[in-house]
Structure 1
Amino acid sequence: MHIPDGIIPLWQSAVYWAVALINIGIFFYIFSDKPGKDRRMVATGLFAAAAAAVSSVSVPSPLGVPVHFFLIPLAAIILGPMTAVLVATLCLIIQFFILGMGGITSMGANILTMGIGLGIGTYAVYRVVSELDGTLAVFSATFLGIMAAAALHILILLAAGVAGPEILMATLIPFYIFVAVVEGAANIFIVSFLERVKPDLIAMEKV
């Protein structure tokens, strides 16, 4: 989902940047009134570094737009939706300046998919399904969060005129279904492990 510079028209990039900045601003507004700021920022930084490493391993698609694993759903489940947006933002900044992935003008669009769509989408599903079953909540939230981000990714590329919907869906959706299933299964084991060895992390207030 690292859309590079030059694919999205500048006026669309400006819109995506505006949406991204509003969401980041909401995080800091909520964050300013919460206790335990130092601990949350440390956890945010660790998740961002881990996400940057995990999502830098890309699987190429025929359109040249890479697909990859994320770790953002795990951040949303453990730290909360708006924190996951910040994790994704920091991840994208690290990857652009260190690895040359993504872009500056396109970063707002990438934050929209990897942060807002993926982070908030994952957490929304998790909150609902966790009332029924914790394991199912982790898997379904991860899976549906990634698919929501994939849908946003496709809509952004459609709006930019990259390709038609049939081509985009045929080339991207199968990859993201695979990623969503694997990452959903992995997150079940990770959350279960953390519940045993680091329950205080799981118990952190979700922001």
Structure 2
Amino acid sequence: MHVPDGFINAPVSAATAVVAAGAMAVSLRGARRELGSERAAPLAGLVAAFIFAVQMLNFPVAGGTSGHLLGGALAAILVGPYTGVLCVSVVLLMQAILFADGGLTALGVNITCMAIVTTVVAYALFRGLVKVLPRARLSVIAASFVAALVSVPASAVAFTLIYAIGGTSDVSIGKVATAMVGVHILIGLGEAVITALTVGAVLSVRPDLVYGAHGLEQKLKLRVNGELVDAPDAEPAPDPAAATRSRRPIWIVGLVTSLLLAGFVSFYASADPDGLERVATDHGIAEQAEEHGAADSPLADYGVKDVEDARISGGLAGVIGVGLTVVAGTGVFWVVRRRRSDEMSDTAPPANTHSDTDV
């Protein structure tokens, strides 16, 4: 659903860039709380790299159309909504600058539709569902499925509204809306399956790493005078092993999985146009697309320049993309968390240097 240059006029593109910049500034502050510790930065960087890899795996939906993961719901549930916005934004920046995927002037539109709208809608719906569903892992997975499903057509609606204001071609907005929402509901089903399976996989091995599952433990019940009541919260016993439990194994597994998906599985992805491309072609919008400013990039169109073999070229581009995204994402989140630590140090009261020998 990457919007190319030329679909949206300059004033509206600039306005969405301001919206995107403002949302990212807010997300930077919110992410400092969500990350918790500097050790969470590599995990957030991994989530960005995983989204990059899975976005290369277009899956067929209907009528010669394909779809791919947007990732807002997945990122929000795994690492939190503020960090999730940043994760998807990092992916979109890497794709636009290095791979000529999504216009440079349309970057604000893409971040607004694919990072902000999907994350906000998905996480709001997810939190509402987990509050009314039983406290269980299955409920988290079910809520993830529904949230991801709804987030994709919500993104399509956002694009349609932006196009209604700043579209560069004279096309019936009603037709665009119907086509966009219709095909993205189907794509949303694929998004929902990928999101639910990924969240379920992480829950099965490290539920403590799923941000959206925090605080959902089943409370102990006691029978008092014939009635079941919640047991009072007990002070947790010190567990040095749990406190130092390494995230390295799951990080390694996640990175290897991302590299395999981008480097090998992506070769078998559907070559059909995605939902936005199909709608743009069918309704004459595609004629307004402009040449990408990074069209001469050595990684443009997810291939390595001068490598003739398509399988090797695409695989190398995918591996490079995953590597660069995990490095860039981890760096961004490390800086964000580091600034939080510095602020807390600056505001902390000075240590008491008074000793028993002072008079």
* Smaller-chain TM-score bracket: 0.7 to 0.9
**Whose relative contact order is higher, 1 or 2, with alpha carbons under 8 Å and at least 6 apart?**
2
Q: Name the structure 2 match of 1:123.
A: 123
Matches of 2:35 and 2:189 in 1, distance apart? 35
Bigger mean CA deviation after superposition, 142-151 or 128-137 = 128-137
Q: Are 1:145 and 2:151 matched, yes or no?
A: yes
* C-alpha contact (below 8 Å) 2:203/2:210 kept by paired residues: yes
Q: 1:5 to 1:52 in 2, by over 3 A?
A: same
* C-alpha contact (below 8 Å) 1:31/1:37 kept by paired residues: no
Show structure 1 runs of 4+ deviating over 4 A: 57-61, 203-206
Q: Summarize deviations over 1:134-155 as a string: whole Å, max 9, x none.
A: 2431121111111211110111
Q: 1:112 to 1:73 in 2, by over 3 A?
A: same
Q: Name the structure 1 match of 2:182.
A: 174
Q: Name the structure 2 match of 1:95.
A: 95
Q: What amino acid does structure 2 have at the position aligned with 1:107?
A: L
The structure with more helix, counted as a fraction of residues = 1
Displacement of 1:198: 1.5
Matches of 1:97 and 1:59 in 2, distance apart? 24
Q: Summarize deviations over 1:57-106 as a string: whole Å, max 9, x none.
A: 45799xxxx85322221111111111111111101111112221012211
* C-alpha contact (below 8 Å) 1:122/1:141 kept by paired residues: yes
Q: Summarize deviations over 1:104-151 as a string: whole Å, max 9, x none.
A: 211011000111100111000000011123243112111111121111
Alignment of 1:1-207 (within 5 A): 1-33=1-33, 36-58=36-58, 67-133=67-133, 134=139, 135-161=141-167, 162=169, 163-203=171-211
Q: Secondary structure at the match of 1:151?
A: helix
Q: Summarize deviations over 1:5-41 as a string: whole Å, max 9, x none.
A: 1221111111111111111111222334566342332
Matches of 2:124 and 2:39 in 1, distance apart? 24
Where structure 2 has 5 or more consecutive residues not aligned to the other structure, the ranges are: 134-138, 216-359
Displacement of 1:51: 1.6
Q: 1:92 to 1:39 in 2, by over 3 A?
A: same
- What TM-score, normalized to structure 1? 0.86
Q: 1:35 to 1:129 in 2, by over 3 A?
A: closer
Q: How many residues align?
A: 203
Q: 1:24 to 1:37 in 2, by over 3 A?
A: farther
Q: Secondary structure at the match of 2:39?
A: helix
Q: Secondary structure at the match of 2:70?
A: coil
Q: Secondary structure at the match of 1:50?
A: helix
Bigger mean CA deviation after superposition, 49-58 or 103-112 = 49-58
Q: Percent identity?
A: 28
Where structure 1 has 5 or more consecutive residues not aligned to the other structure, the ranges are: none
